[in-house]
Each structure stands twice: as C-alpha cells, then as structure tokens.
Amino acid sequence: MPSLCLDPPAPSRLDRLDQRWRPGLEELLAAGMAAGADLVEIFVERNDQLSVLAEQERITSVSPVMGCGAGIRVFKGNCDGFAATNDLSGPALMTALEQALGMLGLCRNTSASGWQGLAALRDYGSGKEQWLKVCPTVPDSAERLREATAALERHGRHLQARQASYARDWQEVLVAASDGTFARDLRLHQTTGLTLLAADGDHRATISRRDGRADDPHFLAGWPVEDVAVSACRSAGTMLYADVVKAGDYPVVLANRFGGVIFHEACGHLLETTQVERGSTPFADNIGQTIAHPAVTAIDEGLSSNSFGSMAMDDEGMAPQRTVLIQDGVLQRFLSDRAGEMRTGHPRTGSGRRQNHGFPAASRMRNTFIAPGPHKPEELVGSIDHGLYCKQMGGGSVGPTGQFNFAVEEAYWIENGCLREDKPVKGATLIGDAVTVLPRISMCADDNALAAGFCGSVSGSVYVTVGQPHIKVDRITVGGR
C-alpha cells in the first residue's frame, strides 16, 4: 500500500508488512489528525493458522485459516472510536478511518494537520521471516498426533477416548500511530494437547495435558510424546477409582505451573486498567496498600524466552516490561495500555494486547506468576494436619470482581503433614474470591514453573503464561460431596 489510490495494492505488496506501507499510513494518520483527533492508531495484520485433531487412530479435522485486515482507533479526550476492515485497499482504509472519526462526532476534511510523520521503522520481525516455512506441514503434524494417540493406547487402561491436537498461529503485524510509533513484528505460537477418557463400570476419569511455546518453529518435533502420554495415563489410572472429595473448608497446597491459573483469573484481571475504568476491581484505590499475605510477590512480564505471553512489542508498538504487581503483599501498580493510561493515569506497561485486527487493544496480562519463596514443597505439605493437595487444575469460571470456582483434575489428601498418594480424590472445586484468598497464601516454595494458556477478555483471546511455585492457602472452600 504505497499510497491511498483508488485501486487496491497489488498482491505482491501484501506479501509483507514493511516500509512500503509508510506513505499510505502517514496519509491516513494525517487525515485523522486534521479532523481533530488527539491520536490515531492503525494496526495492520496478516495471519496464517492451522489446527489438526486426531481421535483414536484417525485424523478427524484439519482447519487452515488465512486472513488479513486492519483496525483503526481514534482518540479524542477520554473517548475513542474503533473500526476494522478485511479490505486493505486505500479507499477501504479511509472508510474505516471515517467510521472511527464519526463515532466521536469528527469529520474528515482537507485541512492540513501539521502532523510531523512517522518515526523510523522498528522492525522486530527481522530474522523471523523463515519461521512459517519451517513449521510442520499438515502430513508432519498428522503423523505426530497419530504417534501421540498410539502412545496413549500403549500406556493407558480402560480408555474410551483418545485425542491429540496441534495448533499453529503465525501473525505479522504493523503498528503506526500519530505519536510517531511505527513498528513491525512476526509472532509464532504453537500448542499441543492430549485428552483421554477412562471408564470402568461407574468409574470415570478425564485427564488433559496441554503445552505451548512461542517463537520456536521446531516445537512439535521436540514434543516429548511418550513422557506426556505416560503422565496422562498414570493420572487417569489413579483418578479412575478415586473417592469423591468431601466438601468443606480446608488448607490447600496448589502445585506449581498451571496452579497459577487461579491467581491469573481471580486476581490478575483485577489489576488491569480495563477493570479500573469499569469500576469493577476492589483494588482500584489500593496502590501502596497491603492486599495479600507478605509471602506473596506477583509479577507480569513479556520478556521470558519462548513463553506464550512474551513479545518483542505489544499490539500498540510498545516494548514489553517486567511489571511487579504485588511486592511482599503490597500492591505496586496496574497493567496499563494506551487507553488505560489516558483514562486512569496509570502509566503504560507494554500490555496493550488484542486477538487480531478486529479488536481494539486493551490492558491484558502476559506472563503472570507468583514469585518463588524460601520453602521446599515438602515444608508446605508438612505444615498441614488435614488438607488437600491439588496436583492438576482443570477449568473454571470467574466473576467480574474476582469470585471464582475452579475444578481440580487430580488431588490427594494431606494427613498429619504427609501427602497421601494412596488417597486420591476427585470432584473437588476450589471456591473463593481474590480479596479473601490473597491474604491466605502464607507460604511459597522455591520451584516456580510456568504453563502456557489462553485468556479471553474485552480484546478477544490472547496467548498468556500462568505460573507459580507450590503455594499454601491457609483455608479455602472446597466444593464436593
């Protein structure tokens, strides 16, 4: 798109989002500023996605998706207007700009804006152009998934269903804004999953394993199929005949890695400025105040190599940061995007994220985790007379102000300071809210680990990492029988 002519860009101009787009983008931005906008931002995207599903020994689904488009956002005062289009021709982009302006009562005119133009392109995608070409083909990924379901068959017992999945999401983005921002990046996210259902008479157990990695085109080739299958089948065999947990209030030890999903969902969202804007976070006025046990330090960052929530730049063109949210129990700051800074005064943290060009960016988590503490996991277990050890977390739901309930996929009783692996229990649900639970996280172990995941919110579904060391919650409501 070298200029906003009446004809769409030639196909060869759509094979890469780069410096050639500068003149057309500058023309759009200048038009928006001339109309009276305080700031105009354009997000242009190309994507190439693939998902493959194996059930038993068969490949049952292959879904390739390719697309492109742009989202244009206009700011005036504390308000903004947003429009998106799948048509990257000059006229279509100008129409989208006019729609976004119109939402704010602004009209395009021919006056000169006095706008100075874009800065030099910051190209974070340089050196990543070969990633998509070396990613697994459909036959390669299909063969790997059949290996996985075969491994489940070898290692499992009483299996009624076996599934293996692979998904790849490649994205090229170009961000330009009237504050001079001009940046490009290439992103690659890949996930694998195993799910099995074991059944024997009235006994049932469903176990899942999921892993993911960013910016690594060879991820699927290195997926440890046998190890993952053995782990999943072992859990299924254990949980198949487990007793149903008795409901009550118990001290609980949550395992590391995906155990961090509770902090992410119940508390992390409440520390995004989207929640401050809505008035739905109980922590809005608590900067500098104690909101958690002194054992808790919580961090969100976009820097860890190959982690799902890492990025060279956010979806507003800002470099990521390491943001300490809670330090020794004291709330330090919120995650903020461009709109969040404008409306709440909390400085941007490189957290403006969106699923694709069809969404305006919003403040979102990246790699979010509770920091490690001084203890060994055995010390946490040893401090409990009677409680629950949650080894694997499942799905759940969270209310707008932090109320949560999460299923526990695999759990064991703790008795007299000992983990009773001979007493597995199933059917447990952890129930609580952020304000109550944070002060009860009294011990953190030294074995922090991260797990890939997905997060849905106002700007769509984005890739994130959750994590924590083993943590002890002094008391939490456990739903069961």
Span 41-59, pLDDT tens digits: 999 999 999 999 999 999 9
Nearest residue to 281 via CA among 268, 290, 294, 292: 268
341-365 pLDDT, tens digit each: 999 999 999 999 999 999 999 999 9
Residues 224 and 251 in one domain: no
Does residue 453 sit in helix, strand or coil?
A: strand
Check pLDDT > 60 for residue 6: no
Answer yes or no: do 275 and 183 share one domain. no
Q: Which residue has the tokens 């996280």?
A: 441
**What is the CA angle 51-56-60, rounded to 5?**
35
Q: Where are the alpha helices (DSSP H) in 21-115?
A: 22-34, 90-102
Tell me which of 203, 220, 240 is where a domain ends.
Answer: 240
Tell how strand 441-444 and strand 159-177 pair up: unpaired
pLDDT, residue 110, reads: 78
E strand or H helix at 182:
strand 182-200
What residue type is assigned to position 481 of the chain? R
Cα–Cα dist 9/13, whole Å: 6
Cβ–Cβ under 8 Å, residues 361 and 338 = yes
- Judgement on whether residues 260 and 233 belong to the same structural domain of the protein: no
Q: Is 446 exposed, middle or buried (0-12, 13-18, 19+ CB in 10 A)?
A: middle
259 and 401, same structural domain? Answer: yes
Q: What is the pLDDT of residue 113?
A: 74
Q: Judge if 348 and 439 occupy the same domain.
A: yes
- Give, rounded to a whole angstrom, the gap between the first and last alpha carbons of the chain: 62
264 and 210 within one domain: no
- 171 domain-assigned: yes
- Domain residues for the domain of 376 are 243-479
The total of structural domains in the chain comes to: 2
Same domain, 208 and 254: no
Residue 1 lies in a domain: no
Kindly tell me the sign of the dihedral angle through the C-alpha atoms of 88, 89, 93, 95: negative
Listed in order, strand segments (DSSP E) in 379-428 are 386-398, 403-415, 418-426
DSSP assignment of 291-354 equals -S-TT--EEEES-STT-TT--SS-TTSPPP-EEEEEETTEE---B--HHHHHHH-PPP-S-EE-
pLDDT of residue 478: 97
The pLDDT value given to residue 296? 98
The whole-angstrom separation of Cα 260 and Cα 255 is 8
CATH number of the domain to which 174 belongs: 3.30.2290.10
* 262 and 115 share one domain: no
Q: Say yes or no to pLDDT of 15 above 90.
A: no
Question: Quick one: pLDDT at residue 8?
Answer: 42
Q: In which band, very low, low, confident or very high, does the pLDDT at 77 lie, cut at 50, 70 and 90?
A: very high
The residue behind tokens 């902090």 is: 263
Task: Identify whether 270 is part of a domain.
Answer: yes
Residues 313 and 210 both lie in one domain: no
User: Which residues lie closer than 8 Å to 21 by C-beta, 6 or more apart?
Assistant: 1, 2, 44, 174, 176
Query: Given pLDDT bands bounded at 50, 70 and 90, which one contains residue 85?
Result: very high
Final residue before a domain boundary, out of 240, 259, 284 = 240
* This prediction's pTM: 0.94
CA dist 407 and 392 (Å) reads 9
With residues binned 3-state (H G I as helix, E B as strand, rest as coil), the percentages for the chain, rounded to 5, are 25, 40, 35
Closest CA relative to residue 163, chosen from 206, 220, 214: 206
Euclidean distance between CA atoms 294 and 439, whole angstroms: 8
Residue 13 has pLDDT above 80, yes or no: no
Q: Would you say 20 and 1 are in contact if contact means Cβ atoms under 8 Å apart?
A: yes
The greatest distance separating any two alpha carbons of the chain, rounded to the nearest whole angstrom, comes to 78
How many residues appear in the chain? 481
Tell me the mean pLDDT in the region 194-223.
Answer: 96
Task: Return d(Cα 258, Cα 467) in angstroms, integer.
Answer: 6
Supply the mean pLDDT for the chain: 95
Q: Which two tokens stand for residue 24?
A: 């057309």
Cα(466)–Cα(309) distance, integer angstroms: 9
CA 259 to chain centre: 15
- Let me know if residue 5 belongs to a domain: no
**Taking a C-beta distance cutoff of 8 angstroms, is the pair 429, 404 a contact?**
no
Does residue 2 form part of some domain? no
Query: Phi first, then psi: what are they for 124, rounded to 5°?
Result: -80, -10
- Could you report the per-residue pLDDT of 310-320, keeping only the tens digit for each? 999 999 999 99
Tokens coding 326? 């809670």
Tokens of 420: 């009773």
Mean pLDDT value across residues 25-30: 96
The tokens for 183 are 């940046």
**Per-residue pLDDT, 9:** 47
Backbone region of residue 279 per phi and psi (left: phi > 0; alpha: psi in -120 to 50; beta: other values): left
Within a domain: 26: yes
Share of the chain above pLDDT 70, in %: 97
Q: Beta strands of 143-181 (E only): which ranges? A: 159-177
Of 240, 267, 294, at which residue does a domain stop?
240
Q: Is residue 407 part of a domain?
A: yes
> How is residue 152 written in tokens?
């489940």
Strand pairing class (460-468; 39-55) = unpaired
Averaged pLDDT for residues 224-252: 97
